[in-house]
Amino acid sequence: MKRQLYKQLLAWKTDKRRKPLLLQGARQVGKTYLVNSFGKQEYQQYIYLNLEQNPDLKSLFSGNLSAENLIHNISLYLGKKITPSDTLICLDEVQTVPEAITSLKYFYEQAPDYHIIATGSLLGVSVGKSSSFPVGKVNFMTLYPMNFMEYLRAFGEELLVESLQNLAEISPLPEILHEKLLKHVKMYLYLGGMPEVLADYLKNKDIAAVRTIQNEILEAYRRDFSKYTEAAQAIKLAEIWQSIPVQLAKENKKFKYSDVRKGGRASAFEQSIEWLRETGLIHLAQQISTPKLPLSGYADRSKFKIYLLDTGLLGAMLQLSSDMILQPSQLYTEYNGAFIENFVAQEFKSLRNQDLFYWTSDSAAEVDFVVVQNNQIYPIEVKSGTSRTLKSLRSYAKKYNPAYIFRFSPRNFTRDDDFVNVPLYAIFLFESTLNSLT
């Protein structure tokens, strides 16, 4: 399955300022598959070392960490010569051997011609604060679950994607195409973007069976809580994790510690929330009351929403049955749009890899997302149904007079002066839509 990040890997390979690459992302989002494909297709020789699966490999990094010594030892271990220009070396699950992370510094300083990719699922919590971390000596990339555009391509809709990308102006699609794409959105909300889930469905077309895979992924995450944290912390992580679907199901989706545990407070759970964020299992959207640049400077860090990394896993946690897919609008109306808002957060993180923000006013008006593009701030309201109301957007526009206001909804493309409706299936066109307006 094609991933957008592949193009970035190609650019990294030919970059004259290339450094060893740290590819981050939650477990099972497809990091290993992506690097394996890249290594086998783009290099004459590909060397894959899984440091978690084969603990004996740790001894390779137990002594002299000079690049020359490491290459020599790896060559002897594999029984093959390693040449720098046509070989890719992948150190998978590198967080399990901190010395391997430290070694990236010496590859950068002593042997920059070697192509090294280190992947890790828990880098942020395992070594993020370690003094041995090679600050300034590595490049970073983050892989997320497959976004909707990647999903469409996996389902053989390459022509449809290209057609959308070539839209020259904001105008409604033919209704038959609009409805086809909405059906895909609905299916994506259930399946999500975890590669193993999509691969199984494409192979077997068993919509109920994928729920078993999603539950297995969730169980693997829960096991990580205990494996990589102390007992008290693991309990807090589990409590927060289990509360997220309930919090999203509320009309007011602002995270409340009291919904995690009666009498719960920030002091008890802040560290656990940060752990979940750094592992890539959740996305935070912080509240701003004044939309000024930089948005982070006006964020109230005590007020935020939490979104899950994947809508399919959200459905599994809510124990939604597969027959909901057959109901024409069920996923758009149940749980007050929790799925749609989570879907938008997912798309933005994958496509833009930026922090998320939302806006509220004292009068209880709320805009679901506020984004920056070309140093301009734009408000976005997310609708799970076909309502035409724009109360919160108009309240925002009256106060701050943005060039355009946006709604993401199941409706077709629409433009009316400063208002633009973007269909849910076209969120990946947001930047090009803005360019066509300006």
What is the helix (H) or strand (E) element at residue 357, kind and residue range? strand 356-360
Are the C-beta atoms of residues 288 and 299 closer than 8 Å to each other?
A: yes
Query: What is the per-residue pLDDT for 328?
Result: 53
pTM assigned to the model: 0.93
- Do 253 and 160 reside in the same domain of the chain? yes
Residues 330 and 309 in one domain: yes
CB atoms within 10 A of CB 211: 20
Nearest to 153 by CA among 189, 190, 193: 193
Same domain, 165 and 123: no
CA 37-41-46 angle, to 5 degrees, is 80
Please give the tally of structural domains in the chain.
2
- 406, 375: one domain: yes
Q: Are residues 153 and 107 in the same domain?
A: no
Same domain, 161 and 115: no
pLDDT score of 128: 46
Collapsing DSSP states into helix, strand and coil, what is residue 6? helix
- Measured over the CA atoms of residue 124, residue 127, residue 133 and residue 138, the dihedral's sign is negative
Residues of the domain holding 239:
148-437
**Local structure of 254: helix, strand or coil:** coil
The residue out of 121, 142, 163 marking a domain boundary is 142
Within 364-412, strands assigned E span 366-367, 369-373, 376-382, 405-409
The pLDDT, as a whole number, for residue 330 is 55
Inter-residue contact 429 to 152 (CB < 8 Å): no
Per-residue pLDDT of 255-295, as tens digits, reads 999 999 999 999 999 999 999 999 999 999 999 989 999 99
Determine the Cα–Cα distance for residues 438 and 432; give it in Å rounded to an integer: 10
Pick the last residue of a domain from 142, 162, 181: 142
| 3-state SS record for 150-175 | HHHHHCCCHHHHHHHHCCCCCCCCCH
Same-domain check for residues 391 and 267: yes
Give residues with Cβ within 8 angstroms of 104, minimum separation 6.
20, 22, 116, 118, 134, 137, 138
Query: 252 and 392: one domain?
Result: yes
Task: Answer yes or no: do 72 and 156 share one domain.
Answer: no
Q: What DSSP state is assigned to residue 179?
A: H
How many Å apart are CA 106 and CA 325, to the nearest integer? 52
Same domain, 155 and 195: yes
Q: Are strands 356-360 and 366-367 parallel, antiparallel or unpaired?
A: antiparallel
Residue in 126, 80, 135, 125 with CA at minimum distance from that of residue 104: 135
HSE, CB side, 13 Å, CA atoms: give it for residue 262.
Answer: 0
Residue 187 near residue 327, CB atoms below 8 Å: no
Report the CATH number at residue 10: 3.40.50.300
pLDDT at 329 (0 to 100): 55
pLDDT in tens, the chain (438 residues): 889 999 999 999 999 999 999 999 999 999 999 999 999 999 999 999 999 999 999 999 988 999 999 999 999 999 999 999 899 999 999 988 989 999 999 999 999 999 999 998 876 555 444 446 788 899 999 999 999 999 999 999 999 999 999 987 889 999 999 999 999 999 999 999 999 999 999 999 998 899 999 999 999 999 999 888 899 999 999 999 999 998 988 888 899 999 999 999 999 999 999 999 999 999 999 999 899 999 999 999 999 999 999 999 999 998 887 776 656 555 555 565 788 999 999 999 999 999 999 999 876 789 999 999 999 999 999 998 877 788 999 999 999 999 999 999 999 999 999 999 999 999 999 998 888 887
Q: Do 214 and 307 reside in the same domain of the chain?
A: yes
